[in-house]
C-alpha cells in the first residue's frame, strides 16, 4: 500500500512534480502475493476510480504482446508497420531508457512534457481524491503508468494501441485488457523466475495468460515443452493460436527485406510483427464492414502455421524504418563506436554475442583489429556469472563494471553512500567472476596476449559517467602510444559493448545523446 504524499507536493502540478510523485510509487509487490493476481484485482478498482470503464478499453483496438525476448522489438515493428498505413498509433512499453515519457508514445514519439503533465495529474488526482474510501490505497509505479496510458490513448483518440506486457502476462496489470484485437508471444526464456517460475513451461503458462476467447494469437517457434503449454492454454481459453513462418518465406515472395533493427534475431520479431499487423488489418476491415470480428479468423488447428501472405509496400517500409533504442543499437561517438544491447538473460546475451561478433568481424575486415571494451552490469536475481561466461568469446581487451548510477552525487548522504556501496560491491563481485573465468581459459599462442589482458584489465567504476570518462581517456592514450600493438588497435578504433541491463544502456544513452532527454 502506498499512502499519498504531502498535500503541498500534490499541488505542484508541474512536470517535475509529476515525475517526483511518480518516483515515490516505485515499490514492487512481494513474491508471495504477486502470483495470486493482487495487482490485477487492484487494477480493476484503480481503473474505475479514474473514471474509465473496462469496456471503454475495447475502443482502443489493442494489440497485446508478451514474451521474454524481443517483445519490445516486436511491438516497435508492429507499431511502425501500422503507422505506415496512416493510422494514428499509441504504444505503451517498458522500461524506459532515458526518460519516463518514452513509455507512452503517440505516432512513435514519446508524449510531450506538456501532455505528460496534463494527463498524469488528471489520473493521479482522481486516485488521490478517492483514496480515503479505499483504505488509502494507491497504485504502484507501473500500475499508474498503465492507467495513464489508457487515459492518454482514449483522450487522444488513437486508431489502435500496442501494449507491451510488463512482467509475465496472467497477472500483469495490462491484462485488464479484456478484448484485444490480436495477441502475440515472442521468444520465451528464463527471466523473473522468482515471480514466473523456474522452468520454461511455467513461464509459458504465465505468458499465455493474455489469451482471450475468440481473439487470434500468434507466437514464434518455441521449444517443444513450452509450446505444448501455449497450445494447451489456447485450447482451454478457446483462443486460436498460430505459429509464425520464418521471414525467409516472405522473402521468397518479395525479395530480401531490410529491417531497421540490427541482428539476425530481429528476423523472428519482424515475422511476428507481420502476422500481428496483418491480423489487425483484417479485423479492422471486418469491423468497417460491420461484420462479426470472428469472421476475419481463418480455421485453426493446434500448432497450425499462420497463413502466408505477400507483405505490402507499407509493411516493408514500416519494417525498414523501425527504430528501437538500446536493442542491437550501434552508435558512433567520434572515434569510439558503442554497441548497445539491453540483453539480461542467458538466451538474449547469446543473441547479443552473436550480433557483436558479427559486427566485429565486419569491422576487422574493413578497418583492421581494434580495441574491444565491455561495459557490464546486472540487476535483480540474475546470474551474472552465467552471463559473463557467455561474453568471454568476444575477447575483450578491457572489462568495465559499474552500477546503473548516472553520476556519483557530490556530498552524498550516508544513506546514499550505503546504497552505492551495495551496488559497487556487486560490480566488484562481477569483476572477480570475470577474472576467474579469464584465467581458466586455455591459452593458445594466438590469444595469449588477448586473454592475459582481459585478466589484468578489468576495472570497477562508481558510476556510468566515470566509466565513460575512462573510455575517452583510454582512446587518447592509445592514439599517442608508441607500442606497435596499441597502434594496430588504434587503427581499428575502439568498440564498446554495453550490455547486461537495460537501465545501464539507458544511462549510457543519456550521456552520449543528451537530446534524448528533451
60-110+158-320: CATH, from 1.20.1580.10, 3.40.50.1820, 3.40.1190.10, 3.30.300.20: 3.40.1190.10
Average pLDDT over residues 206-213: 97
What are the pLDDT digits (tens) for 99-155?
Answer: 999 999 999 999 999 999 999 999 999 999 999 999 989 999 999 999 999 999 999
- In this predicted structure, what is the pLDDT of residue 380? 80
Tens-digit pLDDT profile for residues 12-66: 789 999 999 999 998 655 444 455 567 788 999 999 999 999 999 999 999 999 9
pLDDT at 302: 67
User: Cα–Cα distance between 50 and 123 in angstroms, integer?
Assistant: 6
* pTM reported for the whole predicted model: 0.88
**Correct CATH for 329-439+447-517 of 3.90.190.20, 3.30.300.30, 3.40.190.80, 1.10.357.10:** 3.90.190.20
How many residues are there in the chain?
Answer: 518
Residue span(s) of the chain under CATH 3.40.1190.10 come to 60-110+158-320
- Range(s) of the chain covered by CATH 3.90.190.20: 329-439+447-517
Contact status, residue 74 vs residue 67, Cβ threshold 8 Å:
yes
For CA atoms 220, 243, 218, 261, give the dihedral sign.
positive
265-274, 335-344, 365-374, 440-449 — which is least confidently predicted? 440-449
The tens digit of pLDDT for each residue in 413-451 reads: 444 556 667 888 999 999 999 999 887 664 444 455 544
Q: For residue 379, how many other CB atoms are within 10 A of its CB?
A: 16
pLDDT of residue 295: 66
Helices 224-237 and 200-207 cross at an angle (nearest 10°) of: 30
CA dihedral 471, 477, 483, 489 (to 10 degrees): 40
Amino acid at each position: 500500500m502506498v499512502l499519498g504524499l504531502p498535500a503541498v507536493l500534490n499541488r505542484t502540478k508541474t512536470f517535475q512534480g509529476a515525475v517526483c510523485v511518480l518516483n515515490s510509487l516505485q515499490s514492487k509487490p512481494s513474491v508471495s502475493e504477486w502470483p495470486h493476481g493482487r495487482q490485477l484485482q487492484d487494477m480493476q478498482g484503480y481503473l474505475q476510480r479514474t473514471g474509465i470503464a473496462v469496456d471503454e478499453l475495447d475502443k482502443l483496438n489493442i494489440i497485446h504482446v508478451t514474451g521474454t525476448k524481443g517483445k519490445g522489438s516486436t511491438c516497435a515493428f508492429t507499431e511502425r508497420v501500422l503507422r505506415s498505413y496512416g493510422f494514428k498509433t499509441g504504444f505503451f512499453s517498458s522500461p524506459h531508457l532515458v526518460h519516463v515519457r518514452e513509455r507512452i508514445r503517440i505516432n512513435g514519439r514519446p508524449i510531450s512534457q506538456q501532455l505528460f503533465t496534463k494527463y498524469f495529474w488528471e489520473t493521479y488526482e482522481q486516485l488521490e481524491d478517492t483514496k480515503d474510501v479505499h483504505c488509502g490505497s494507491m497504485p504502484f509505479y507501473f500500475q499508474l503508468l498503465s492507467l495513464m496510458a489508457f487515459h492518454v490513448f482514449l483522450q487522444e483518440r488513437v486508431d489502435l494501441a500496442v501494449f507491451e506486457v510488463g512482467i509475465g502476462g496472467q497477472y500483469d496489470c495490462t491484462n485488464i485488457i479484456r478484448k484485444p484485437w490480436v495477441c502475440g508471444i515472442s521468444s520465451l526464456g528464463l527471466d523473473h523466475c522468482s515471480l514466473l517460475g523456474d522452468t520454461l513451461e511455467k513461464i509459458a503458462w504465465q505468458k499465455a495468460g493474455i489469451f482471450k476467447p475468440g481473439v487470434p494469437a500468434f507466437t514464434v517457434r518455441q521449444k517443444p515443452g513450452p509450446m505444448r503449454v501455449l497450445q494447451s492454454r489456447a485450447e482451454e481459453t478457446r483462443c486460436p493460436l498460430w505459429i509464425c513462418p520464418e521471414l525467409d518465406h516472405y522473402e521468397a515472395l518479395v525479395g530480401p527485406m531490410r529491417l531497421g533493427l540490427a541482428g539476425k534475431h530481429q528476423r523472428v520479431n519482424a515475422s511476428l510483427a507481420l502476422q500481428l499487423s496483418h491480423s489487425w488489418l483484417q479485423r479492422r476491415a471486418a469491423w468497417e464492414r460491420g461484420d462479426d470480428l470472428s469472421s476475419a479468423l481463418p480455421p485453426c488447428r493446434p500448432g497450425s502455421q499462420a497463413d502466408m501472405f505477400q507483405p505490402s509496400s507499407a509493411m516493408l517500409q514500416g519494417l525498414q524504418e523501425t527504430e528501437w533504442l538500446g536493442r542491437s543499437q550501434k552508435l558512433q561517438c567520434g572515434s569510439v563506436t558503442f554497441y548497445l544491447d539491453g540483453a539480461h538473460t542467458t538466451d538474449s546475451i547469446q543473441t547479443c554475442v552473436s550480433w557483436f561478433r558479427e559486427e566485429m568481424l565486419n569491422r576487422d575486415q574493413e578497418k583492421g583489429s581494434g580495441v574491444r571494451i565491455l561495459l557490464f552490469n546486472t540487476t535483480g536475481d540474475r546470474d551474472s556469472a552465467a552471463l559473463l561466461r557467455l561474453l568471454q568469446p568476444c575477447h575483450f581487451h578491457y572489462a568495465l563494471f559499474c552500477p546503473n548510477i548516472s553520476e556519483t552525487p557530490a556530498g552524498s548522504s550516508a544513506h546514499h553512500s550505503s546504497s552505492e556501496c551495495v551496488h559497487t560491491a556487486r560490480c566488484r563481485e562481477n569483476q572477480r567472476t570475470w577474472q576467474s573465468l579469464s584465467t581458466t581459459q586455455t591459452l593458445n599462442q594466438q590469444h595469449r596476449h588477448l586473454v592475459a589482458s582481459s585478466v589484468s584489465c578489468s576495472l570497477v567504476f562508481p558510476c556510468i559517467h566515470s566509466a565513460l570518462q575512462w573510455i575517452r581517456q583510454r582512446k587518447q592514450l592509445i592514439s599517442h602510444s608508441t607500442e606497435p600493438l596499441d597502434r594496430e588497435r588504434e587503427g581499428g578504433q575502439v568498440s564498446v559493448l554495453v550490455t547486461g541491463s537495460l537501465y545501464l544502456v539507458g544511462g549510457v544513452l543519456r550521456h552520449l545523446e543528451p537530446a534524448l532527454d528533451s
